[in-house]
Amino acid sequence: MKRLLLLVIISISLASCKSEFEKIRTSGDVDRIYTKAMAYYEAEEYQKAQALFEIIISSYRGKREAEDIYFKYAYTYYHLEQFILAAYYFKNFSTTYGTSELREEADFMSAYANYQLSPTFRLDQQYTIEAIEGFQLFVNTYPNSDRVEQCNKLIDAMRAKLELKAYKAAELYYDLQDYQAAIQSFENVLKDFPDTQNRIEIGYMIIRSAYLLAKNSFVEKQKERYTDAVERASEFLERYSDSRYADEVQKMYEQSTDQLKELENVRYQDESTGARS
């Protein structure tokens, strides 16, 4: 009996709360809706605050309160993890209130909302790219902001994600034995991420791909491709003679050189045979 009574009390209480929100939402009293929306926002009841803000935004357009309403409205989307809309509304706030003291925070939050959307490196990185562009624009626009250091760290983290994605794509070509595509993809990693800390490993993978490409080519292509492998290996050994890959690169250099000599001997023998006949 006591349990039943408690359930009835809770049900009445919940119904009363819902009734109060609905009564305010449908009241048409702009000032009352505004006051309650702010109260909901401060209480972190962002869904209710958002619903009420939507009703009164147009009514306060051009008034002193409009800026604060719109800013908090954008934040409700962020707090509710609706990051696509949060990024949109923060950006729109910055455009609409270009002289606002809140513009700096809005520009940061627009980029940060996209950062929150940035997925694992295996997925499409459109939001990662948008976040990087947003943070870079922020740094350029507010070079003295306290948030610049955080922006730079987040940019570095997301660029590392893009680099990993690019590296894994090149590695996949290598695993599929599409060595020509692997070479191009690894070279693109070095081009797109010139400050990479994996430059030596990537250089090694390029040489290994070039060597295997030559080894698995038709005879007509082998001279050109072994020559390419030799040149790449020679350059690597000059730069990174102390690397952990040096011994293996040296072997590929020597094997490629031997293959070039053998190809030259075959060509010489063929020419000699042709001349005697």
Rounded CA gap, 30 and 38, in Å?
12
Confidence of residue 23 (pLDDT cuts 50, 70, 90): confident
Q: Which two tokens stand for residue 238?
A: 């000059």
Residues above pLDDT 90, as percent of the chain? 81
* Residue 10: half-sphere exposure toward Cβ, Cα within 13 Å: 6
Confidence of residue 275 (pLDDT cuts 50, 70, 90): very low
Confidence of residue 28 (pLDDT cuts 50, 70, 90): confident
**Each residue of 43-90: pLDDT tens digit?**
999 999 999 999 999 999 889 999 999 999 999 999 999 999 999 999
pLDDT at 250 over 50: yes
Q: Tell me the C-alpha to C-alpha distance, in Å, between residue 189 and each of 105, 214, 236.
A: 34, 22, 17
Mean pLDDT of 79-103: 96
pLDDT at 29: 77
Burial per residue of 149-170, b for 16 or more beta-carbon CB atoms within 10 angstroms, e otherwise? eebeebbeebbebbbbbbbebb
* Residue 36: half-sphere exposure toward Cβ, Cα within 13 Å: 22
Q: Tell me the C-alpha to C-alpha distance, in Å, between residue 178 and each of 119, 125, 150.
A: 28, 24, 40
User: Between vectors from CA 89 to CA 88 and to CA 90, what angle results, nearest 5°?
Assistant: 95
CA 95 to chain centre: 24
Rounded CA gap, 44 and 75, in Å?
11
| AA identity, residue 223 | K
Rounded CA gap, 66 and 70, in Å?
6
pLDDT at 26 over 90: no
pLDDT at 20: 83
**Each residue of 130-168: pLDDT tens digit?**
999 999 999 999 999 999 999 999 999 999 999 999 999
Mean pLDDT computed over every residue of the chain: 91
**Each residue of 213-246: pLDDT tens digit?**
999 999 999 999 999 999 999 999 999 999 999 9
pLDDT at 4: 58
pLDDT at 274 over 60: no
Confidence of residue 185 (pLDDT cuts 50, 70, 90): very high
| Start-end of H helices in the chain | 2-25, 30-42, 46-56, 66-79, 83-96, 103-117, 126-141, 148-175, 179-192, 199-215, 219-239, 246-276
* More confident call, 4 vs 48: 48
Q: Which two tokens stand for residue 48?
A: 């209710």
Mean pLDDT of 12-29: 70
| AA identity, residue 152 | N
Among 6-20, 130-144, 160-174, 248-262, name the one with the lowest average pLDDT: 6-20
pLDDT at 175: 98
Cβ count within 10 A of residue 255: 17
